[in-house]
Amino acid sequence: MDFINIHTHRFSSDEKILEIVNQYPNEFTESIPNFSIGIHPWYIDENRIDDDLKIIESKLQQKNCLAIGECGLDKRIEKPMDLQAQVFESQLALAEKHQKPAIIHCVAAFQEVIETKKRLNISIPMIIHGFSKNEHTAKQLLDNGFYLSFGKYLLRNPELESVFKSVPNDRFFLETDTIEENIADLYALAAKYKSLQISDLQQQIKLNFKTVFESE
């Protein structure tokens, strides 16, 4: 295994890549080797929440379920924030119960996510996926114990270079999410930005993965 892709919606079946494939309770594929499962705020269905949470809890008990998520808060959709918060907090409670990390979707709600972590005294690792914000927001999240995962915005927004450089090497991951580019493309750019050899970057991300996902 050469590369770790912390969050993707596309299973490549490439033996050189450890992929955490995002799955949904109502659209689940048993054959995927490693996955996360969660209720995305976009897809909250009030008629299905309890059933979805039961499915999530059953899957969290499988060894190849590596995380809950993506789950979180999104202020740019029409779903009521109180409903989003309820579903998010229910999933974090399951993550705590089963000691699985959480992969977080957060849009314009970073203060609320930080507040939720503090208020609920969440101890499991929380990873903000697809990070694209400034150094101030990155520092706030890092200071509150979050990990940051970088993907398409790192490839497409040169201004993110300085933000990425500011993140300690033991606090980030890389992901492809829904983009067509290969995870190797992200590793190449990340190694350049961090002034690391690809092999050193691979070793660092493997260590980060072990810390977050194999701590038990």
Which residues contribute to the annotated binding site for a divalent metal cation?
A: 70, 105, 129, 177
Sign of CA dihedral 126, 53, 40, 49: negative
Which residues contribute to the annotated binding site?
A: 70, 105, 129, 177
Within the chain, strands assigned E span: 3-8, 17-23, 35-37, 65-74, 102-107, 126-128, 147-150, 172-174
pLDDT tens per residue across all 216 residues of the chain: 899 999 999 999 899 999 999 999 999 999 999 999 999 999 999 999 999 999 999 999 999 999 999 999 999 999 999 999 999 999 999 999 999 999 999 999 999 999 999 999 999 999 999 999 999 999 999 999 999 999 999 999 999 999 999 999 999 999 999 998 999 999 999 999 999 999 999 999 999 999 999 865
**Would you state the structure tokens that stand for residue 177, as one six-digit string?**
């999410």
**CA dihedral angle for residue 37, residue 167, residue 152, residue 99, rounded to 10 degrees:** 0
pTM above 0.85, yes or no: yes
- C-alpha pair distances (Å), 38 with each of 54, 58, 66, 80: 11, 12, 12, 18
Instruction: State the chain's maximal CA–CA distance in angstroms.
Output: 50
* Closest to 138 measured CA to CA, from 156, 159, 121, 120: 159
Confirm if 18 and 32 have CB atoms less than 8 A apart.
no
Q: Name, in order, each residue with C-beta under 8 angstroms of 18's C-beta and a sequence gap of 6 or more.
A: 1, 3, 4, 5, 34, 209
Q: How far is residue 4's CA from residue 6's CA, in Å, rounded to a whole number?
A: 6
- C-alpha pair distances (Å), 104 with each of 40, 62, 196: 9, 20, 27
Q: Name, in order, each residue with C-beta under 8 angstroms of 211's C-beta and a sequence gap of 6 or more.
A: 125, 170
**Would you state the structure tokens that stand for residue 58, as one six-digit string?**
């059953």
Give me the domains of the chain, ranges plus CATH numbers.
3-213 (3.20.20.140)
